[in-house]
Structure 1
């Protein structure tokens, strides 16, 4: 997973932290990492 995206699961809650201090935006790589996180959470 992208280093700028970290995920933690607390029961039925997915906490996603974005760490992109140099850019106040979501690039394509971060967008895909977020999509992967949502899919992983949905499927598990």
Structure 2
């Protein structure tokens, strides 16, 4: 059986790919909502 090399991605790479790069409106909105939710938990 042939071994297949699996590529792994960091969380930052996945956010860049699916939400957008930092500085883009969608990414900024995501980060803002995330910070708001985290502050509610503390």
Normalised TM-score (structure 2):
0.47
- Higher percent of residues as strand: 1
Greater relative contact order (Cα 8 A, min sep 6): structure 1 or 2?
1
- Which structure has more helix as a fraction of its residues? 2
Q: Which has the larger radius of gyration?
A: 2
